[in-house]
Amino acid sequence: MNRIEIVRWSVLAFCAATLGARAEFKVDRSVMSDEYWKVWNDDVQAKVDADIEKYRKADAAFAVDAPDGTEVKVEQVTSAFFFGAHIFNFNQLGKKEWNDRYKELYGTLFNSATVAFYWRTLEPYPYQQRFEERYEDTEDFWNRCDDPKHQPHWRRPAPDPVISFLKTRGCRIHGHPLVWGNNAWHTPTWLWDDFCPDAEKFALEAATGVKMPQRNIKIPICVKDMQDRSERVWSAAWKKVFDQLSEAQIAELVPSYVKAQEFFYEKRIREIGERYGSRVDSWDVVNESATDWGVGSKRQWPAGESSAKNSLPLTKSHYGVMPANYAYKGLVLARKYMRPDAWLNVNEYNMSAFPGQIRDLEANGADFQVVGSQMHLFNPAESKKIAAGVFSDEVKRKLTPEGIWDTFRRVAEAGGGRPIHLSEITITAPDNTESGQMVQAIIMRNAYRIWFSIEKMNGITWWNVVDDCGAPGEPSISGLFTRDMKPKAAYYAMDDLVNNQWKTRIAVKSADGKVKFRGFRGHYRLSWKDAAGKTVEKTVDLR
């Protein structure tokens, strides 16, 4: 056994003692109203079970070198379905004990992890990438830090140590995101401040009367009011510009900035591809761009062009000004610089505009393999209403059986058969009492079951694993664990699904030199005793 295996098994033993042995999760139906259970009724549950059986399982027949009638133990080791979470709080929780519990989840509960590649904190200054671990990324730094959430790199660990860790855990690695227009969370302030010359800024101001605001790169991500105010002022200033000038007129006034945008977007994707392209399995190439597409698609494009191949130099984004066709171009660049078998995702929350954008990108030859969809239930009051059986129109679309089936039917149809990655999931508790945690667990459990049952779904990624570790404005009680890494009911419910109900462990008899069974798709270990009583093992894949 090598050193990595020794460490892995010692941590497994530690967490087994800490979290307790896995057991079937017991649903306390009493915390939910009769009205809730009328929506999530026995007929719905029966359909979900039938669809899980149909879409997540397969018939297997594997050769074994054993006499007929030999009992063969069939153990599923890993799942082909991706059960993920982001790993944004790597080594940041403040105590080694808490960090160890957090990290142990990757490779046990989660077989996939979303790694942060946000531009603003990955390249805080031009040409200065934060790929490697520095002291301020170490566990020692965070354990000594009195105000972790006020650090500019809170929830933004350097990628190198995170990816190296995940490789030891056998986790699938998902990078997030490469292209996103959001100026508060992603686009660095220096792109405009340093690479739009003063002469061009003055020309834009002279033409419109709008002075573009300076934004403070040092504002910590956690300071929501300051970030929101900065973003609102920035977006409002651009809106005033947009009201007066076309994209072409803006581009004429700031030609150096247009070139800088194109240069730095490609530079970023190229450099990330050079360093991580062979180690990262999939990417959210374009994040939350469907709203911009929805606006652009309603314009009168030049003859023969669509929004994906708009010939204008810039696009009027609701974030500010962005490169024209940025979703389409981002996919082209990612395919150029990432490994050929990497899955490229288009990730979105706007499910109204998203199907149209998918069709548009596909019609113009964009190369992407996965469509990503988000579902955030941020408001604890909404969770309380759900428990009472009261569903707002938005919640009906997100968290009722009919709404879920309809949403993913439309996304699957638009995706042209592509897999769907449910890429960001937040389900908050109404409160952190015992009953409140059970409400969260039941909402999560029913939602996960129906998502798992959908034919084209290939993975579900929980967003904030630990309470009070989300982005500003996100609920503080939406984790699977409390802030001091004590498991909540939602953890036990998820673990029961992932590691008990959706894992195949059976014993079958060999016949005609084979074992046959029906099981969940994934990686299996077959074992049996030979004539001398020695255990024989074989690993197989059921896909």
**Is 116 a residue whose pLDDT tops 90?**
yes
**Domain contains 331:** no
- Indicate if 485 and 513 belong to the same structural domain: no
**Domain contains 219:** no
Query: Which residues touch 326 (CB under 8 Å, ≥6 apart)?
Result: 179, 181, 265, 286, 289, 292, 315, 317
- Indicate if 511 and 416 belong to the same structural domain: no
| pLDDT band at residue 7 using 50, 70 and 90 as cut-offs | very low
- Indicate if 434 and 516 belong to the same structural domain: no
User: In the prediction, which pLDDT does 473 show?
Assistant: 85
**Domain contains 157:** no
CB-CB contact of 98 with 484 (8 Å) = yes
Sign of CA dihedral 144, 150, 153, 154: positive
Report the mean per-residue pLDDT for the chain: 91
Tell me how crowded residue 419 is: count the other CB atoms within 10 A of its CB.
Answer: 18
| pLDDT band at residue 218 using 50, 70 and 90 as cut-offs | low
**Is 4 a residue whose pLDDT tops 70?**
no
- Indicate if 470 and 430 belong to the same structural domain: yes
- Indicate if 380 and 446 belong to the same structural domain: yes
User: In the prediction, which pLDDT does 225 show?
Assistant: 61
Q: What is the DSSP string of 318-362?
A: TTEEEETTHHHHHHHHHHHHS-TTPEEEEEES-TTTHHHHHHHHH
**Is 299 a residue whose pLDDT tops 60?**
no
- Indicate if 480 and 397 belong to the same structural domain: yes
**Is 1 a residue whose pLDDT tops 50?**
no
Peptide bond into 177 cis (omega under 30): yes
pLDDT in tens, 9-35: 333 333 444 444 456 899 999 999 999
b/e sequence 187-218, b meaning 16+ C-beta within 10 Å = bbbbbbeebbeeebbeebeeebebebeebeee
Express as a percent the part of the chain with pLDDT over 90: 81
Give which of 145, 134, 133 is closest to 94, Cα–Cα: 145
| pLDDT band at residue 308 using 50, 70 and 90 as cut-offs | low
User: In the prediction, which pLDDT does 443 show?
Assistant: 98
User: In the prediction, which pLDDT does 217 show?
Assistant: 64
| pLDDT band at residue 300 using 50, 70 and 90 as cut-offs | very low
| pLDDT band at residue 313 using 50, 70 and 90 as cut-offs | confident
- Indicate if 414 and 514 belong to the same structural domain: no
User: In the prediction, which pLDDT does 18 show?
Assistant: 42
Cα separations in angstroms, 99 against 138, 143, 170: 11, 10, 18
Token duo for residue 522: 């994934």
The lowest-confidence range among 182-191, 216-225, 479-488 is 216-225
Q: Which residue has the higher pLDDT, 224 or 211?
A: 211
Looking up residue 444, the CATH number of its domain turns out to be 3.20.20.80
Tell me how crowded residue 161 is: count the other CB atoms within 10 A of its CB.
Answer: 16
**Is 298 a residue whose pLDDT tops 80?**
no
**Domain contains 335:** no
Residues 112-140 have a mean pLDDT of 97
Identify the domain boundary among 469, 484, 501. Answer: 501
**Domain contains 261:** no
| pLDDT band at residue 183 using 50, 70 and 90 as cut-offs | confident
pLDDT in tens, 184-205: 889 999 999 999 999 999 999 9
Which range of residues forms the domain containing residue 509? 56-78+504-543
Residues 222-226 have a mean pLDDT of 60
- Indicate if 487 and 460 belong to the same structural domain: yes
State the Cα–Cα distance between residues 539 and 402, nearest whole angstrom. Answer: 40
Token duo for residue 210: 């709008």
User: In the prediction, which pLDDT does 303 show?
Assistant: 43
User: In the prediction, which pLDDT does 9 show?
Assistant: 35
3-state class of 291 per DSSP? helix
State the Cα–Cα distance between residues 218 and 152, nearest whole angstrom. Answer: 7
Residues 289-299 have a mean pLDDT of 78
pTM: 0.93
Q: Which residue has the higher pLDDT, 158 or 14?
A: 158
- Indicate if 416 and 455 belong to the same structural domain: yes
Q: How many domains does the chain have?
A: 2
Looking up residue 508, the CATH number of its domain turns out to be 2.60.40
**Domain contains 310:** no
Give which of 447, 413, 492 is closest to 23, Cα–Cα: 492
User: In the prediction, which pLDDT does 118 show?
Assistant: 97
User: In the prediction, which pLDDT does 312 show?
Assistant: 72
Residues 148-166 have a mean pLDDT of 96
User: In the prediction, which pLDDT does 302 show?
Assistant: 46
- Indicate if 448 and 530 belong to the same structural domain: no
pLDDT in tens, 163-180: 999 999 999 999 999 999
**Domain contains 417:** yes
User: In the prediction, which pLDDT does 11 show?
Assistant: 39
Residues 504-525 have a mean pLDDT of 98
**Domain contains 389:** yes
- Indicate if 402 and 491 belong to the same structural domain: yes
pLDDT in tens, 419-475: 999 999 999 999 999 999 999 999 999 999 999 999 999 999 999 999 999 998 899
- Indicate if 417 and 529 belong to the same structural domain: no
Express as a percent the part of the chain with pLDDT over 70: 90
